[in-house]
């Protein structure tokens, strides 16, 4: 009944509305209840949108085509809005416009025109389209807008900072005991990335000093030194760089001081010491108090860098994490060989990302296998936890860089 009412509302809008400029807005206002009813779980969703095309030189057929095109683009815009927040849509509008909104053929399976009408200088159509939400999500993840919160790295910052009138840069790893207070730039970066779903290493919980050696206490760490330290403290990724504020001469008011800040960063994987993202930004601020002006300029610069860096990391981390690798899988608790055979068969055929399974050895209730999987041990463990095995439960008790250890737990049989 809700879907029927939604259809009637769309028809009335097409026949009766002469104003308005955007089919997406009309569809959101008119069909919110109907969409709520239709948007169940699944790969595709049916979305209703009104589009319009201006009639030039009495070319009604051309205006109809433009109206359908406008409606289908509105469908994609609405589908994106169902997946990401309005804030992300606004911040990444240009990127979405360039790489998503116009790709109707990529995301729309089929569509039908529900009703249509000429109204003054415009031709309007009500269109219902079937959209692949999986394809939308994959695209948003590939360009770094959508974060898969089950597949994000743990991040640690090694960012030195030098504000106005400070003779030397400050950095937390150069203090004894280790500094726990965040610098201005680091706070802006970590706040943004935490909001995107990244896990940030809590330095207050480390409670250890950095190892000795100039390469580990310098204000500008090498990629190797930063990766080694980050790995020691449980980080998958380290953000290395510096933030510097300097005076500039861009104000005419003698009572104001113009400050320019530059934040430069690079993101390094701790397992391979590979740089997967980098960003630099420079912004200026003016204030009568130079320290306050420097702080404002650092925040502005770091905020811009945070958005760019996070987007790159999301796109490249997921891409890199989905490369095929061999993961060692140790299975304990094998009571009957038939149980293990069922588990191995299910693993090979039904666990997402698994390409093949190679048995290395089996004895005394324990089997060792190499699993060819798209991803890494954590991704494999996450996928295993989502599975329902026949007459078996799975208890994963260790996930490391090398592999996964689990125990098979026989459950009550139904026969």
The first and second tokens of residue 10, run together, are: 């769309």
Domain 2-142 is in which class? alpha beta
The average pLDDT across 143-171 equals: 83
pLDDT of residue 19: 37
pLDDT of residue 248: 83
> Has residue 214 got a pLDDT over 90?
no
CATH code at 324-410: 3.30.70
Question: Who wins on pLDDT, 101 or 152?
Answer: 101
> Lowest-confidence range among 81-85, 86-90, 147-151, 282-286?
147-151
How many Cβ atoms are within 10 Å of 27's Cβ, its own excluded? 28
Q: How confident is the model at residue 252 (pLDDT cuts 50, 70, 90)?
A: low
> Has residue 280 got a pLDDT over 50?
yes
Question: What's the CA gap between 143 and 133, in Å, rounded?
Answer: 16
The average pLDDT across 34-60 equals: 72
> Has residue 13 got a pLDDT over 60?
no
pLDDT of residue 123: 94
Q: How confident is the model at residue 317 (pLDDT cuts 50, 70, 90)?
A: confident
Task: Tell me the pLDDT of the chain averaged across its residues.
Answer: 81
Q: How confident is the model at residue 151 (pLDDT cuts 50, 70, 90)?
A: low
pLDDT of residue 328: 93
pLDDT of residue 219: 85
pLDDT of residue 367: 93
Where in the chain is CATH 3.30.1660.40? Answer: 2-142
Where in the chain is CATH 3.30.160.150? Answer: 154-320
Where in the chain is CATH 3.30.70? Answer: 324-410
> Has residue 159 got a pLDDT over 60?
yes
Question: What's the CA gap between 77 and 315, in Å, rounded?
Answer: 21
pLDDT of residue 279: 93
Q: How confident is the model at residue 4 (pLDDT cuts 50, 70, 90)?
A: very low
- 3-class DSSP state of 364: coil
CATH code at 154-320: 3.30.160.150
> Has residue 413 got a pLDDT over 70?
no
pLDDT of residue 369: 92
Whole-prediction pTM value?
0.55
Question: What's the CA gap between 388 and 178, in Å, rounded?
Answer: 46
If you write DSSP's letter for every residue of 178-206 in order, what string do you get? PP-SPPHHHHHHHHHHHHTT-EE--GGGT
> Has residue 32 got a pLDDT over 80?
no
């Amino acid at each position: 009944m809700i879907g029927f009412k939604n259809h009637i509302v769309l028809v009335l809008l097409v026949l009766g509305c002469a104003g308005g400029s955007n089919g997406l807005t009309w569809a959101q206002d008119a069909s919110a209840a109907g969409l709520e009813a239709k948007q169940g779980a699944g790969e595709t969703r049916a979305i209703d949108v009104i589009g319009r095309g201006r009639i030039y030189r009495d070319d009604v057929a051309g205006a109809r085509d433009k109206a359908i095109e406008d409606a289908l683009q509105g469908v994609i815009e609405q589908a994106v809005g169902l997946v990401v927040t309005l804030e992300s849509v606004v911040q990444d509008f240009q990127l979405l416009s360039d790489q998503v909104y116009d790709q109707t053929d990529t995301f729309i399976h089929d569509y039908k025109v529900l009703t249509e009408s000429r109204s003054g200088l415009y031709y309007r159509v009500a269109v219902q389209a079937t959209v692949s939400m999986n394809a939308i999500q994959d695209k948003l993840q590939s360009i770094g807008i959508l974060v898969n919160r089950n597949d994000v790295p743990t991040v640690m910052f090694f960012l030195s900072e030098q504000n106005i009138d400070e003779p030397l840069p400050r950095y937390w790893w150069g203090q004894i005991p280790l500094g726990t207070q965040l610098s201005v730039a680091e706070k802006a970066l970590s706040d943004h990335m935490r909001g995107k779903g990244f896990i940030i290493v809590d330095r207050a919980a480390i409670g250890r000093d950095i190892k000795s050696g100039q390469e580990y206490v310098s204000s500008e760490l090498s990629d190797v030194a930063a990766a080694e330290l980050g790995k020691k403290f449980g980080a998958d990724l380290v953000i290395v760089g510096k933030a510097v504020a300097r005076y500039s001469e861009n104000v005419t008011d003698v009572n104001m001081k113009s400050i320019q800040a530059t934040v430069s960063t690079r993101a390094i994987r701790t397992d391979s010491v590979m740089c997967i993202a980098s960003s630099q930004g420079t912004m200026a601020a003016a204030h009568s108090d130079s320290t306050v002006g420097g702080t404002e300029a650092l925040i502005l610069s770091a905020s811009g860098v945070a958005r760019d860096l996070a987007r790159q990391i999301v796109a490249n981390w997921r891409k890199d994490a989905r490369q095929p690798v061999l993961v060692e899988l140790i299975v304990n608790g094998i009571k009957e060989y038939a149980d293990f055979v069922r588990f191995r068969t299910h693993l090979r055929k039904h666990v997402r990302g698994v390409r093949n399974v190679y048995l290395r050895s089996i004895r005394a209730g324990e089997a060792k296998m190499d699993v060819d999987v798209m991803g890494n041990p954590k991704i494999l463990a996450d996928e295993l936890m989502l599975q329902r095995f026949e007459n078996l439960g799975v208890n994963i008790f260790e996930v490391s860089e090398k592999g996964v250890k689990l125990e098979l737990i026989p459950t009550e049989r139904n026969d």
